[in-house]
């Protein structure tokens, strides 16, 4: 049911964790299953994503897609990172079963939410980036403690 790449990223997820003093943090919930994803971005002064980490309460497919998504945005410019859609991530993983496609949206949305957070902090506008609807970062800092 799952490709070898999905299994690999699920069993050995890359870039799990937090970034202290991250340039941008995005937390989103999946409307379909209620799972949660948080992405941390470290962006340098030239707008290049130096580092990217994630934490999730999502399923295996969410773990695998986030692992791949973080790998894909690392070292990229913000403009390039905007092109890392859930479709691009799924392609990089050799596909996902149709019932799991919604899981791959978490990573994309969380990256966008983290970029939005970064843009807001720096007073800049990122072309094509819309305010995340599902960003639940504010006021729910510690939801993982419960
Ligand atoms: Fe919720 Fe996959 S079932 S993220």
Global pTM?
Answer: 0.89
The residue that leads in pLDDT, 43 or 1, is: 43
Find out whether 52 and 70 touch, Cβ atoms under 8 Å: yes
How far is it, in rounded angstroms, from Cα 137 to Cα 71? 23
pLDDT in tens, 113-133: 999 999 999 999 999 999 887
pLDDT of residue 43: 98
Kindly give the distance from the C-alpha atom of residue 28 to the centroid of ligand 1, in angstroms, as a whole number. Answer: 12
What is the rounded average pLDDT of the residues 69-87? 97
Which of 62, 65, 96 to probe ligand 1 with, by most ligand atoms within 8 A of CB? Answer: 62
pLDDT confidence of residue 136: 56
Tell me if 35 CB under 6 Å of ligand 1: yes
Amino acid 1: pLDDT:
85
SS3 state at 48:
strand
């Amino acid at each position: 049911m799952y490709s070898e790449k999905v299994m690999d990223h699920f069993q050995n997820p890359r870039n799990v964790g937090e970034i202290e003093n991250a340039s941008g943090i995005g937390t989103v919930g999946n409307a379909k299953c209620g799972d949660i994803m948080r992405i941390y971005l470290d962006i340098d002064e030239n707008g290049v994503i130096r580092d990217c980490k994630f934490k999730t309460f999502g399923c295996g497919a969410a773990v695998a897609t986030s692992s791949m998504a973080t790998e894909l945005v690392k070292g990229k410019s913000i403009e390039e990172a905007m092109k890392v859609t859930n479709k691009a991530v799924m392609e990089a993983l050799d596909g996902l079963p149709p019932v799991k496609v919604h899981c791959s949206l978490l990573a994309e949305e969380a990256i966008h939410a983290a970029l939005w957070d970064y843009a807001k902090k720096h007073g800049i506008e990122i072309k094509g980036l819309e305010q995340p609807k599902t960003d639940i970062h504010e006021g729910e800092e510690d939801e993982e403690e419960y």
